[in-house]
């Protein structure tokens, strides 16, 4: 899971970064709002840990912007402001959870796990969606209980799309940040992998958003069905 940590306090930021890395999370740590915005554009992010008092502004500005763009990225606010008013403001702006400093790292880790579970169906290391179950630690996938053999690239594509269910992931992101080989991939490599993936897991999961990328819908809507 890729976590963006936005925290200007050096000691705290470093402590959190190390604790998260120890748990196997990929962490990008930034200390300013502008850096956070940039990081969200260039990195694949699954969850944001957001401090509110930052040197170049209020973390709530970023949260408000994300939610204004209908971005459902899970956001956990970390802040020293323990006044009830600030908590409510953060939640009103669409934060998923709130942790008041100082906090124990164990508490932070359990909140992150709970948030991940609520947001994208992580149960331990398994990701579930409709009939699909994916276990990252063992790189195993099952569809309606039956095991399917996925290549490394197929697994990475599927787990990326599952973790962002209901959000479109652009072709560019998948090509440059998910597929091994990154920028060196041939232009049709992604299409080939997606096509193979669909053959293995069935056609009902990965939906093409023409000219943009791909998405896996949490629920299949009747409106989306072909008439
Ligand atoms: Ca701060």
- Average pLDDT of span 89-110: 89
Q: Specify whether domain 126-216 bears CATH 3.40.50.2300.
A: no
Q: Model pTM?
A: 0.69
More confident site: 71 or 131: 131
Q: Specify whether domain 2-120 bears CATH 3.40.50.2300.
A: yes
Residue 55 CA to ligand 1 center (angstroms) comes to 7
pLDDT for residue 216: 94
More confident site: 81 or 73: 73
Residue 164 CA to ligand 1 center (angstroms) comes to 28
Mean pLDDT of the chain: 88
Beta bridge partners of residue 49, listed in sequence order: 5, 76
- Bridge-based pairing of strands 122-123 and 126-129 is antiparallel
Read off the pLDDT band of 226 (50, 70, 90): very low
pLDDT at 121 over 80: no
- Average pLDDT of span 199-221: 92
Convert the pLDDT of each residue in 29-77 to its tens digit: 999 999 999 999 888 888 999 999 999 999 999 999 998 887 778 999 9
Residue 196 CA to ligand 1 center (angstroms) comes to 46
Residue 98 parent element (H or E): strand 97-100
- Average pLDDT of span 92-97: 88
pLDDT at 143 over 80: yes
Work out the widest C-alpha separation in the chain, in whole angstroms: 58
Structural domain spans, the chain? 2-120, 126-216
d(CA 22, CA 42): 24
pLDDT at 106 over 90: yes
- Average pLDDT of span 4-24: 95
Residue 25 CA to ligand 1 center (angstroms) comes to 22
Residues around ligand 1, an ion, CB closer than 5 A: 8, 51, 53
- Report the 10 Å Cβ neighbour count for 61: 16
d(CA 122, CA 134): 9
């Amino acid at each position: 899971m890729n976590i963006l940590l936005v925290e200007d306090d050096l000691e705290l930021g470093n402590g959190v970064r190390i604790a998260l890395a120890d748990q196997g999370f990929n962490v990008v740590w930034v200390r300013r709002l502008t850096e956070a915005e940039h990081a969200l554009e260039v990195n694949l992010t699954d969850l944001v840990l957001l401090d509110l008092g930052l040197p170049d502004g209020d973390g709530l500005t970023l949260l408000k912007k994300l939610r204004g763009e209908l971005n459902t990225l899970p956001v956990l606010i970390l802040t020293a402001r323990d006044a009830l008013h600030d908590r409510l403001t953060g939640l009103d702006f669409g934060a998923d959870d709130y942790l008041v400093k100082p906090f124990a790292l164990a508490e932070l880790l359990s909140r992150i796990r709970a948030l991940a579970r609520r947001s994208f169906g992580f149960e331990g290391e398994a990701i579930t969606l409709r009939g699909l179950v994916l276990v990252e630690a063992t790189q195993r996938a099952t569809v309606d209980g039956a095991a399917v053999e996925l290549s490394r690239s197929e697994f990475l594509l599927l787990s990326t799309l599952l973790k962002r269910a209901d959000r479109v992931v652009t072709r560019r992101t998948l090509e440059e940040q998910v597929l091994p080989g990154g920028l060196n991939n041939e232009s049709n490599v992604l299409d080939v992998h997606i096509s193979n993936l669909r053959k293995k897991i069935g056609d009902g999961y990965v939906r093409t958003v023409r000219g943009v990328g791909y998405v896996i819908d949490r629920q299949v809507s009747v409106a989306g069905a072909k008439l």
